Amino acid sequence: MCGRYASSRRPEDLVEEFEVLESHVESPLEPDYNVAPTKDVYAVVERAPSRESNEPAQRQLRVLRWGLVPSWAKDRSIGNRMINARMETVAEKPAYKRAFAKRRCLLPADGYFEWYATEELTAQGKPRKQPYFIRPQDNGTLAMAGLYEIWRDPDLADDDPHRFLWSCTVITTDAEDDLGAIHDRMPLMVEPQRWDEWLDPTRDQASLLDLLVPAAPGRLAAYPVSTLVSNVRNNGAELIEPLPLEPAS
């Protein structure tokens, strides 16, 4: 799964990199090196100007809540456990299939975290888990494949500006050989040449899965980082710094 990631890019940089036409970011998010479920994150989507408009969809940058809340949900708490959608079932699972058909997005990240179970045991007799940060070799932006939904809160009035909740999930797949040694799942990435097709809400659903392929071997770098990232209250650039090499004995 993908349960934590880092996101420090400024919205104006994302607007340029992803060729966004409309930014709906009213208050820029602070750089976040420990993005956890239910936090606000940046997402790139394509939306028509309005339901009545015949104009083509426009690429937008928005702030979404991580943890997808389906439109039919009774309350938003369901999103707490819907942070990942498995590629193998995303087109059929009721919680995701409508979003997969029409509401796909890109979730920009610096990289993501996974925890490797070492042979060392804790005082409780469980394997000690070492966090790793996994990022593009070139330090570029990781465009994770995602889905988004718009949920109407039934407890809020029609004129309440917070009545609609925009939320998202990360699509995951089996990890490639090298990264599979750390964790068996990884987020799917969308290469720049496929952004247009992935975001297009009118694209034929039958060919969507062909756009999603695991990162090519060697595309990503993984290195151990401080266990401070295991506590969501910790947040700073030091969380993605490689641990110093141990001196040779």
* 114 flagged as catalytic: yes
* 2 flagged as catalytic: yes
State residue 206 phi and psi, 5-degree precision.
-60, -30
**CB neighbour class for 162 (10 Å; exposed up to 12, middle 13-18, buried from 19):** exposed
| H helix intervals, the chain | 11-17, 97-102, 177-180, 195-199
Q: End-to-end CA distance of the chain, in Å?
A: 36
In whole angstroms, give the CA distance from residue 125 to residue 135.
31
From 2, 46, 105, 168, active-site residue: 2
**Residue 57: both structure tokens together:** 């969809």
For residue 62, give the H/E element and its range. strand 58-66
- Mapping DSSP to helix (H, G, I), strand (E, B) and coil, where does residue 13 land? helix
In whole angstroms, give the CA distance from residue 7 to residue 235.
11
Query: Which residue bears the tokens 């060697």?
Result: 218
In whole angstroms, give the CA distance from residue 149 to residue 135.
27
From 17, 55, 88, 114, active-site residue: 114
As a three-state string, the secondary structure of 210-231 is HHCECCCCCCEEEEECCHHHHC
Residue 218's region, left for phi above 0, alpha for psi from -120 to 50, else beta, is left
**Which sequence positions are flagged as catalytic?**
2, 114
